[in-house]
Amino acid sequence: MALVGNLKDIKLANLVQLNCMEHNTAKLTIEHNGKYGFIYFEKGQVVHAEYDPFIGEQAFYRLLQLLSGNFKVESGIRAPAKTISTNWNNLLLEGLHRIDDEDQDSGKKYVRLFERLYTIKGVKRIYVIDSAGQVIAKSTEDLPNSQFALALASYEADKIGDAIHLKSPQFVSMNLNNANIILVKQKDKTLVLDVEKKTRLDLILPLIKKALSSQ
At residue 151 the predicted structure's pLDDT band, cuts being 50, 70 and 90, is low
At residue 106 the predicted structure's pLDDT band, cuts being 50, 70 and 90, is very low
φ and ψ of 150, to 5 deg: -70, -40
Q: Output the pLDDT for position 165.
A: 47
Q: d(Cα 190, Cα 13) in Å, to the nearest integer? A: 30
Torsion 87-9-197-108 (CA) sign: negative
Residues 187 and 110 reside in one and the same domain: yes
Residues 97 and 161 reside in one and the same domain: no
Cβ contacts of residue 121 below 8 Å, gap of 6+? Answer: 199
At residue 49 the predicted structure's pLDDT band, cuts being 50, 70 and 90, is very high
CB of 158 closer than 8 Å to CB of 93: no
Residues 162 and 124 reside in one and the same domain: yes
Q: Output the pLDDT for position 186.
A: 75
Segment 104-133 shows an average pLDDT of 75
Q: Does 52 or 38 have the greater pLDDT score?
A: 38
Torsion 149-151-154-159 (CA) sign: negative
Residues 94 and 35 reside in one and the same domain: yes
Segment 89-98 shows an average pLDDT of 88
Domain of 189, CATH number, reads 3.30.450.30
Model pLDDT for residues 10-34, shown as the tens digit of each residue: 989 999 999 999 999 999 999 998 8
CB of 159 closer than 8 Å to CB of 174: no
Residues 172 and 131 reside in one and the same domain: yes
Q: d(Cα 178, Cα 34) in Å, to the nearest integer? A: 17
Domain-ending residue, one of 82, 104, 126:
104
Residues 115 and 176 reside in one and the same domain: yes
Segment 108-132 shows an average pLDDT of 79
Segment 73-91 shows an average pLDDT of 95
Residues 92 and 110 reside in one and the same domain: no
Segment 168-183 shows an average pLDDT of 71
User: Which of 134-148, 167-181, 187-201 has the highest average model confidence (pLDDT)?
Assistant: 187-201
If one counts the domains in the chain, the total is: 2
Segment 79-102 shows an average pLDDT of 88
Residues 36 and 121 reside in one and the same domain: no
Domain-ending residue, one of 38, 72, 104:
104
Q: Does 186 or 63 have the greater pLDDT score?
A: 63
Segment 114-132 shows an average pLDDT of 81
CB of 147 closer than 8 Å to CB of 128: no
Residues 97 and 120 reside in one and the same domain: no
- Which domain range does residue 202 map to? 106-213
Strand positions, DSSP E, the chain: 3-6, 26-32, 35-42, 45-51, 54-55, 70-75, 123-130, 135-138, 171-176, 179-186, 189-195
Residues 71 and 116 reside in one and the same domain: no
Q: Output the pLDDT for position 148.
A: 44
Model pLDDT for residues 177-215, shown as the tens digit of each residue: 666 888 887 777 888 888 888 888 888 888 888 887 765
Residues 10 and 83 reside in one and the same domain: yes
Output the DSSP codes for 70-95.
EEEEEETPPPSS----S-HHHHHHHH
HSE-CB for 4 with a 13 A CA cutoff: 4
Segment 61-88 shows an average pLDDT of 94
At residue 158 the predicted structure's pLDDT band, cuts being 50, 70 and 90, is low
Q: d(Cα 142, Cα 34) in Å, to the nearest integer? A: 10
Domain-ending residue, one of 104, 136, 161:
104
Residues 46 and 91 reside in one and the same domain: yes
